[in-house]
Amino acid sequence: MKILLLDKNHPLITEQLLAKNFVLEEDFTSSYDEVCHKIQNYDGIIIRSRIPLDKNFLEKGKNLKFIARVGAGMENIDIPVAEKLGIQLINSPEGNRDSVAEHVVGMLLILMHRLFIASQEVKNGIWKREENRGDELLGKTVGLIGYGNMGKATAKRFSGFGCKVIFHDILPGLSDEYASQVSLEELKQSADVLSLHIPLTSATHYLINETFISEMKKDFYFVNTARGKNVETKYLVENLKSGKIKGACLDVLEYEKSSFEHLENENDDLKYLLESEKVIVTPHIAGWTHQSKEKLAQVIADKIVEKFAR
């Protein structure tokens, strides 16, 4: 079985698949058109986010049996076309769920306890105590939207801080020892903290918009480690300015390039997010730890071997 690797990943993928007699070719630089020209020669692809696998691409891959994404999100793939063509889709959300969960809690603690602001002030000779009085997680209700791998790992962390954790998910019957499933309406009524753990689909594009925010009963903290386009940024900014959103922790932004390599444009809303003391921003690294790099690769290698090794 011949596999094309389009992005750099942990070397264990190559090592373990070669040991199982797969034939591997690495191509980390060719353009979309160049890869399209040769994709019919491969049985499988391993990707991250560099090249979009759209209808045109997939139809040229006449011999493709699988696409494996080293990560969770699959929005870079035309899933209905892939399924119609009988191409199996593999991803690895198990690999970076712990990294994401720790990042969520870490960002929120930094924001609520003003840790970065206070540290920078002291380093510049400014000693403020009352102005840097923090806000505790203990006793707060955390509302999660999405309760897959990321949501469950995040709920486990928050439960250890003495929070009440609730979640909404499109699948029923997911409550466990860490969180209780509720309707979206109940979540909007109760949450002090709102954290997203959902894919980007037509149903979740701009899920957090003017209407959604207005329906939140309490002023709340907002965390997004999912996808930037889950949020309509202009309304996020409006509500940060008004105080309806008390603060935001953003690992993803609406203005990211689809490959997540950099921001595509700048505007006044982005400028506000980057300058506001009410906002923590990181460069799409929630699932990006030394440990998750290896775990993501191991999950992918295991799934490919299980399904396709002879």
Which residue among the candidates 284, 290, 294, 306 is catalytic per the annotation? Answer: 284
Which residue among the candidates 10, 168, 227, 254 is catalytic per the annotation? Answer: 227
- Residue 284 is among the residues annotated as catalytic for this protein: yes
Which residue among the candidates 256, 264, 266, 310 is catalytic per the annotation? Answer: 256
- Residue 277 is among the residues annotated as catalytic for this protein: no
- Residue 290 is among the residues annotated as catalytic for this protein: no
SS3 of the chain: the string is CEEEECCCCCCHHHHHHHHCCCEEEECCCCCHHHHHHHHHHCCEEEECCCCCECHHHHHHCCCCCEEEECCCCCCCECHHHHHHCCCEEECCHHHCHHHHHHHHHHHHHHHHCCHHHHHHHHHCCCCCCHHHCCCCCCCCEEEEECCCHHHHHHHHHHHCCCCEEEEECCCCCCCCCCCEECCHHHHHHHCCEEEECCCCCCCCCCCECHHHHHCCCCCEEEEECCCHHHECHHHHHHHHHHCCEEEEEECCCCCECCCCCCECCCCHHHHHHHHCCCEEECCCCCCCCHHHHHHHHHHHHHHHHHHHCC
Q: Just list the catalytic residues.
A: 227, 256, 284
